[in-house]
Amino acid sequence: MCGITGYVGHKNAGPILIEGLKRLEYRGYDSSGVGVIDLSTGHIIVRKTKGKIRNLEELIQQQNLPVSRIGISHTRWATHGAPNHVNSHPHADSAKKFLVVHNGIIENYEVLREELQHQGSVFVSETDTEVIPHLIASLYQGDFLDAVRQAIVRLQGSFAIGVLCADHPDTLIAARVGSPLIIGVGKEENFIASDVPAILDRTKRIIYLNDGEIARLTCDNVEIMKFSGAAVRPKIHTVKFSVDAVKKQGFAHFMLKEIHEQPEVLERILKSYLKQEEVNFPELNLSPGQLKGFERIGIIACGTAYHAGLVGKYAIEQLAGIPVFVDAASEFRYRDPILDEKTLLIAISQSGETADTLAAGREAQARGAKVIAVCNVVGSSLVRESHGVIYTHAGPEIGVASTKAYVAQVAVMFLLALKLSRNSGRTVPAQRESIIAQLRQAPAAYKKILAAKNQIAQIARKNSHFGCFLFLGRHINYPTALEGALKLKEISYIPAEGYAAGEMKHGPIALIDEYRAVVCVAPQSEIYEKMISNMQEIRARKGKIIAVATQGDAAIKKHSSHVIYIPATHNILTPLLTVLPLQMLAYFIAVQLGCDVDQPRNLAKSVTVE
Ligand code: AGP
């Protein structure tokens, strides 16, 4: 969602701020803006506009952005008020002394707005954010930090903010509650940003601001304190990945690049967690005794991560015999869940900043459960709030449609199931060894499927005219069907429904005729024959079938218009492979339809508000 960058140093702030925004484009936005303190006049100057960052650049070409040494910038994903230039950030107080960028939602903004209007503040936008500069201005008596501190304790909701004050042209203030914000520590320059990619080409030294902390940045100092004023000694992390990781490197889209990175992601995960055929999660923070003691497992997540959780349920129950429930985090947090210290709660999130997943994790901890994060982002809120973590090691994922992060999450779920299975008596060592041996083959299997790129692109071209897609799968590939449908609808905007194939006759079969395409995930498995029966029912109603099947299954051709093969693997591991053709299909269909693959409309990479 909204992206923030901020700069204080000796260089011209404007170009740095715009460059930072470009690196945050993946978060999803509908307008953008930048504000600086003019080096020669000391005045606050703002340029903002609707639409893409290139619109902002065009505006700056026409209206010039003065040379400055300090500034803040923002990409807005509209919540309160339409995406137009008035509602875009930064926002100022009536006297244009304070300037604010904000990510999050101020829940009590109406009360504050009324109060401030009575005091004479004149509001120009429909946003919740605008109360912040007015509130700071109303509390300001010469001490910038103090005014911000007094203001933020009156805000309810979630926020990450960057604030400038014309009276203090050397100081940038930032604070957070519930929305992500990092500080980049440079040489005689410092930065704030919503995420690391924004500043990766400037510095790799990062401080992750915690909830309830406020930071004062000058060009040569970063000072962090609690809202109460108590000083905090910050931990500076050095980011390992290079700036290349957040560039397209010759691929047409980030999504395509990330799809191609999946073999190496799998290799990295296996290398990190499989030691002499034993699974070891070094940051799990649970002793073998503790791990044995859990009587059930809950998995909470959103979107694609939720689908990975569903695969986890099948794998853990089958291999380890531990009951597992999987909830969408947004449902879990309000459903009064029954949990205790015998429940292990696994929160899966690529970003580690998804508002519902964070809230669900807090709810679970409050009810006595231990929370383990399965997360891709080091230092994210979820990781910091959880008892332990299993990193998914997928590297930065920029495409809004999650691909490599999902595959990494699924791989981790299998490893977790294998680890838990050791004490269960449900598997014998030979079975585990066989699954591990097949897991080790997964990167090579991925390369084989990727080599069928042209065939999948051709299938996509031939079928992109269908106005509706149904994705069917059974058992452990039911989540694959859900994920395939989500990918397609996210990036191509074609209505797509994922369904358990066994449920087809209970409703979705009504959709089927010659105008619908049905993607059937039908690899080798115990329920293969049942899947074939479903396919026959679809054919009988003239539905067009695209099947994903196991290499060597020639028979499936007679039931399908197209078949995409995956290499043979252990039945339980098939979801790791079957999802790849579906990712590629969605990608090529979206490209064929001319859609904005990496930044689909209305979507945000990380959903940091509820
Ligand atoms: C996936 O393609 C999505 N864009 C979305 O469903 C995503 O998986 C979801 O918002 C959860 O995000 P997280 O993994 O960062 O928590």
Give a yes or no: residue 610 inside a domain: no
Check which CATH number belongs to the domain holding 372 and give it.
3.40.50.10490
Total structural domains in the chain? 3
Q: Which one from 313, 487, 544, 605 is the annotated catalytic residue?
A: 605
Atom of ligand 1 nearest to the CA of 403: 2
Domain co-membership, 149 together with 271? no
Residue 607 CA: which ligand 1 atom is closest?
Answer: 10
| Domain edge (last residue) among 228, 243, 258 | 243
Residue 605 falls in the annotated catalytic set: yes
Catalytic (active site) residue 292: no
Alpha-carbon distance of 98 to 140, in angstroms, equals: 10
Over range 77-90, report the average pLDDT: 88
pLDDT tens for each residue of 221-280: 999 999 999 999 999 999 887 777 888 889 999 999 999 999 999 999 999 999 988 999
Same domain, 145 and 284: no
Best residue for ligand 1 mutational test, from 194, 254, 302, 398 (most atoms within 8 Å of Cβ): 302
- With the most atoms of ligand 1 within 8 angstroms of its CB, the residue from 348, 409, 480, 606 to mutate is 606
Q: How far does the chain reach from its first CA to its final CA, in angstroms?
A: 11
d(CA 575, CA 308): 9
Nearest-angstrom CA–CA distance, 412 and 149: 41
Q: What is the pLDDT of residues 583-603, one digit of tens each?
A: 999 999 999 999 999 989 988
Residue 115, pLDDT > 80, answer yes
Instruction: Assess whether 101 and 194 both reside in one domain.
Output: yes
Q: What is the pTM of this model?
A: 0.88
Token pair belonging to 607: 């959903």
Return the pLDDT at 567. 98
- Asked if the structure places residue 556 within a domain, the reply is yes
Cβ contact 158:179 at 8 Å: yes
**Nearest-angstrom CA–CA distance, 114 and 124:** 13
Q: Are residues 519 and 547 in the same domain?
A: yes
User: Which ligand 1 atom minimizes the distance to the CA of 486?
Assistant: 2
Cα–Cα distance between 460 and 590 in angstroms, integer? 9
511 & 572 share domain = yes
Please, what is the Cα angle at 407 between 405 and 412, to 5 degrees?
95
Say if 100 falls within a structural domain.
yes
* Ligand 1 centre distance from Cα of residue 341 (Å): 28
Q: Which of these, 77, 81, 49, 88, lies nearest to 65 by C-alpha position?
A: 49
| Domain assignment present for 530 | yes
pLDDT value of position 237 = 92
Determine the pLDDT at residue 427.
82
Q: Ligand 1: which atom is nearest the Cα of residue 354?
A: 16
Span from the CA of 361 to the centroid of ligand 1 (angstroms) = 16
Provide the domain limits for residue 222: 3-243
H helical segments located in 24-120 = 53-63, 109-118
The answer to whether position 552 is within a domain reads yes
The alpha carbon of 201 and the centre of ligand 1 are apart by a number of angstroms equal to 26
Same domain, 216 and 186: yes
CB under 6 Å to ligand 1: residues?
302-305, 349-351, 354, 357, 400-402, 490, 603, 606-607
Question: By alpha-carbon position, which residue is closest to atom 10 of ligand 1?
Answer: 303
More confident of the two residues 333 and 492: 492
121 domain residue, yes or no = yes
* Average pLDDT rounded to a whole number, residues 447-468: 96
* Shared-domain flag, residues 95 and 212: yes
Residue whose CB lies within 8 A of the most ligand 1 atoms, among 332, 350, 356, for a mutation test: 350
pLDDT bracket for residue 429 (50, 70, 90) = confident
Q: Which amino acid is at 520?
A: C
Give the number of C-alpha atoms closer than 13 A to the C-alpha of residue 477, restricted to the C-beta side: 34
Tens digit of pLDDT for each residue in 22-71?
A: 999 888 788 999 999 999 999 999 999 999 999 999 999 999 999 999 99
- CA 491–ligand 1 middle distance (angstroms): 13
Tell me what the pLDDT averaged over the chain comes to: 95
Decide if 211 is inside a domain.
yes
Ligand 1 atom 7 nearest Cα: 303
CATH code of the domain containing 156: 3.60.20.10
pLDDT at 424 over 80: no
The pairing of beta strand 237-238 with beta strand 231-232: unpaired
- 3-state class (DSSP) for residue 267: helix
Of the candidates 422, 440, 458, which is a domain's last residue? Answer: 440
pLDDT of residue 522: 98
Summarised one tens digit per residue, pLDDT across range 381-420 is 899 999 999 999 999 999 999 999 999 999 999 999 999 9
Place 142 in a pLDDT band, splitting at 50, 70 and 90: very high
State residue 78's pLDDT score.
83
Give residue-wise pLDDT tens across range 308-352.
999 999 999 999 999 999 999 999 989 999 898 899 999 999 999
